Structure 1
């Protein structure tokens, strides 16, 4: 059996049962408190209240059963050592519960790490898991020395402070602002006070479960937490991530709505009519350009006139989702729109500038809603204009790899979602086959 089985088992679903199981299999770690407790580090039982240090022997079922009875009868917590695996301990609680832990002395400080509960963890599983934990601890001490012990006193808030300074403030991570928002609104208030060395998988599961957010959004929180702990391991603050075995929640793919030909024509008619009355309406021009190119809003807002190849009818996108420069050919209608923008803006600057500012135009989401209302069609979002463009490409017979390149998808799997969302492309095939 995989020694990680119990950890994988409790991460299958974010519900009350899985969180309770995680708490049952978790154990607080503290490099300076010589004791332990189900209630956490702050209520740890002092070592003097536990059975003598030399209590121990080779762990067997009979051995564990005997000490369990002894703990229940005396009403005291007992610790016993496994003489077959140095460092592996069993904690017998007066309630009858048995927990495996690793206790390792590192430069005069006792470090406690949870292994799991018995019988969920068999004795052999516990030994294998304990051996790996001890090897990880030794490696961390060899690499980081005294820093490893100093970091064990750190709170999660202090770790996040370092992560913000070293990662999020450098401008390298494109999601930095979004991450900072999550940290400020959620992570600091709910997890910040916890001691880094004492954080468990159960803490992370409980945090995610209590978020009143969609599964996809909670998965983004999990991804951020994992990124913070992965960085912490690299920096030597911790040796193992408490979020390592937590799996993302299943995400229900939303319906990929797209305008039909009639709806798109009515929407474009309204855009043309409004633009004739106000030719310098940059937000309107931006929406029309998005409909004609299928580009992402964030990429297109930051398009500059210098990045338009006026001979080849190709634009260069620099502010892309994956950070890689991308060149995209545009259709004749989109190129005419670019030319009109050039006529009243000149050869430099934003293609779609904001009014009275040096920044590009703001995201025109409210304008999009008004356009749909004026066209007498359902309120399609700006991103659904991208779905509309992709669907029209597919239904016109465009090769899937061409669609992938035009949309800027990282993998063909993302593009395939548009294939399945467009039943019209199958009608010709089935009619020909059955006709």
Structure 2
């Protein structure tokens, strides 16, 4: 029978699931008769599941909460996932997930578009829903439909904003003139010369800097993809690291962090100083992450292969790196030159015809245009 709890205005119901597990949950209503009907319906669904093998109705919360508790918490993007679920909850709460159809997914897309949300954000939110459904189908064998599959909004081409070498120098000069300018300049130069992400650099420890082999080691816990990789250091990166080493020796010799304050504490954010430096250098619409784009752009422009840039940046697939392909016109120029070679070969083929003796026995050379 439904019962009351001191901490809830609603009636609570109690059922025993087909696997023997006892479940107490809120009915979501303060009406006793409605709560009793819901409890009886839940018990009938359990009986059908046990005796007939019929899947009971699953609510949005029943699908999403176990996924967040058991699977998503182990992801590096857990907080991002929970934020996406908040948007999903406002639309799908109250729906029976067993009956979820493509029209429901399309309705969600239309609603979010009307709210001014980008296609990329909508796709990521629906990806969280799809992951939760798949997880429940694998772990609990619920056999729920997943109409998210095959439904994806078209996203605009990824943003690529980068600086020329002259602009990089201008930005570094502006950074150097600020308070903590040495640290900010070293950060900018290391980012441009290695392509590392912001968190990979701010979380960098001296024990993972190998000057002898000119490498920086990133473990899986430090990278977005969760895979370890080694970053080679060129002269520009080594110079930036040596400046931070001199700063450490003078101010905080015991700190384990490459980018540390004078008291040895790790630097957590550089956004304010970075934005000021950009403004002073006259650089608009530029973020810290765009330093990574700058590194990739310089490499591609210099003729480095996309696969090698992918490995350096730590992209999971070369598709992520292909956004920079337009910066390598030399590859396309070499391709069209093949057509010139074919034309030269055709031009070299001359048709020689022997002229009759009455015309002096000269040869008539016919050259195809």
TM-score range, shorter chain: 0.5 to 0.7
Q: Of 197, 216, 227, which residue of structure 1 is paired with 2:120?
A: 216
Please, which of 99, 107, 117 is the counterpart of residue 206 of structure 1?
Answer: 107
Contact 1:294 1:390 in 2 (8 A): yes
In the alignment, the residues of structure 2 paired with residue 161 and residue 364 of structure 1 have an alpha-carbon distance, to the nearest angstrom, of 35
Distance 1:147 1:334 in 2: 67
Q: Give 1:166 deviation, angstroms.
A: 0.9
Alignment-derived partner of residue 301 in structure 2 = 395
Match of 2:79 in 1: 177
**Residues of 2 paired with 1:356 and 1:159: CA distance?**
47
Work out whether residues 152 and 196 of structure 1, in 8 Å CA contact, stay in contact via their aligned partners in 2.
Answer: no
Is 1:235 the counterpart of 2:136? The answer is no
Instruction: Show the 5 A alignment for 1:324-343.
Output: 324-343=227-246
1:84-103 matched pairs, under 5 angstroms: none
CA contact (8 A) 2:300 2:306 kept: yes
Which of these residues, 139, 142, 152, is aligned with residue 56 of structure 2? 152
Assess if the C-alpha contact under 8 Å between 1:314 and 1:328 holds in 2.
yes
Instruction: Write the distance in 2 (CA, Å) between the matches of 1:348 and 1:193.
Output: 52
Question: 1:253: how far off?
Answer: 0.5
Contact 1:282-1:361 at 8 Å conserved across structures: no
Is the contact made by 2:299 and 2:309 (CA closer than 8 Å) also made in structure 1?
yes
What is residue 312 of structure 1 aligned with on the other side?
A: 213
Offset, 1:237: 5.6
Residue 424 of structure 1: how far off its partner (Å): 7.7
SS of aligned partner of 1:382: coil
Q: Whole-Å Cα distance in 2 between the matches of residues 367 and 350 of structure 1?
A: 19
Of the three residues 374, 384, 389, the one matched with 2:280 is: 374
Q: What's the Cα RMSD here?
A: 3.3
Q: Does 1:191 align with 2:92?
A: yes
Answer whether contact 1:156 1:191 (CA < 8 A) is retained: yes
Residue in structure 1 matched with residue 260 of structure 2 by the alignment: 353
CA distance in 1: counterparts of 2:295 and 2:312, whole angstroms: 10
Alignment partner of 1:419 is 2:325: yes
Distance 1:286 1:208, change over 3 A: same
Seen in structure 2, the aligned counterparts of structure 1 residues 292 and 231 have a Cα distance that, compared at 3 Å, is: same
CA shift, 1:175, in A, is 1.7
- Return the offset for 1:146: 6.9
CA deviation profile, 1:177-220 (whole Å, cap 9, x unmatched)? 1001111x312222123233343332222122211311111111
Mapped contact 2:162–2:297 kept (Cα < 8 A)? yes
Alignment partners' CA distance in 2, 1:188 and 1:374: 44
CA distance in 1, matches of 2:262, 2:160: 33
Query: Is the 8 Å Cα contact of residues 271 and 371 (structure 1) preserved in structure 2?
Result: yes
Shift of 1:295: 1.4
Distance 1:387 1:422 in 2: 14
Match of 1:12 in 2: none
**Corresponding residue for 2:200?**
299
Moved over 6 A (4+): 105-108, 354-357, 424-431
The answer to whether the 8 Å contact 2:225/2:314 transfers is: no
Cα distance per residue 1:216-272 (max 9 Å; x no partner): 111111211110100111123631323254421111114422212322221122233
- 1:110-142 deviations in whole A, cap 9, x for unaligned? xxxxxxxxxxxxxxxxxxxxxxxxxxxxxxx7x
Structure with bigger gyration radius: 2
2:153 paired with 1:249: yes
Shift in alpha-carbon separation, 1:195–1:315, aligned structure 2, 3 A: same
Distance 1:215 1:391 in 2: 26
Per-residue CA deviation, residues 361-420 of structure 1 (Å, 9 max, x unaligned), is 234233322111111232322222222211211222323333222222222233232121
Residue 354 (structure 1) shift: 6.2
Q: Aligned equivalents of 1:314 and 1:238: distance in 2?
A: 48
Q: Is the 8 A contact 2:98 2:144 kept in 1?
A: no
